[in-house]
Amino acid sequence: WINSMNQLSKKEGIDEQIWLSTWDGVPYSAIRSGNQKFTIEKPFIGIIGGIQYQKLKELFKNDRGFSGFISRILFAVPEVDEIPLIHPEYSMNLAISSINETLQKDLYNRIAYNSYDEKPFVVKSNAEANKLYYAWVIKHTKRINAIREFDQKELEAAIFGKMKNYILRIGAILALVDRHFDPNHELIGYRPEEVLNEKNMGYAIECAEYFTKAAIFVALYAKKETIAPTEALQLAALTKTGRSL
């Protein structure tokens, strides 16, 4: 996906710029063959994939580590690198899978937002949630400002900038999930203004802490190509728990 970017583009870097703007939901317009113009007013693309440790350095080529591209990706790094044991007769509990399917359909169908002309649903954080959020922002702002190594500070600042946004996105999703499981949901649906409370914000911050540590590990591993896999896995586990070698 990343290495194929810009191969068919006449303008250098245009594919990457499209992905950067799509992350922010910016409308995208282009002209197809035959001079046919089209516009995607509210782009949304979900991407999930896997990559080997030895390939991580490929993600940072062409200054993608400093363009904001890589800091938009949420990395999940296993603490133990091993082949999973999958039982051939195992299947997810139908009750659990059906709840998940119903939730996704409900969120998509009830709060679909396809155009900037439509009035979107609003999720507002309450006072307690705001306190948690700004305490997290202040803590990491001070931590990053104290970093003396310039490249490391620039890297963590880029990750921090996107995590501030991700916390609000994740918190809003959790608020809507809570509403979905409200006993009165079938009657009232989603309110025009939902509330992101301190519980939702706390969980969102936990997610951001994990993804921040994982992103820093990925960047360090990609930068230090001489790290042995065993040492890298040890560093990943320590990084997730806030420790270091």
* 210-245 residue pLDDT tens: 999 999 989 888 877 534 455 555 555 565 555 654
Q: Any residues with CB less than 8 A from the CB of 70 and at least 6 apart, and which?
A: 59, 60, 64, 158, 215, 219
**pTM reported for the whole predicted model:** 0.80
- The C-alpha atoms of residue 76 and residue 42 are separated, in whole angstroms, by 27
pLDDT band at 6 (very low <50, low <70, confident <90, very high): low
Least confident interval from 7-21, 29-43, 66-80, 210-224? 7-21
Task: Give the pLDDT mean for 149-165.
Answer: 91
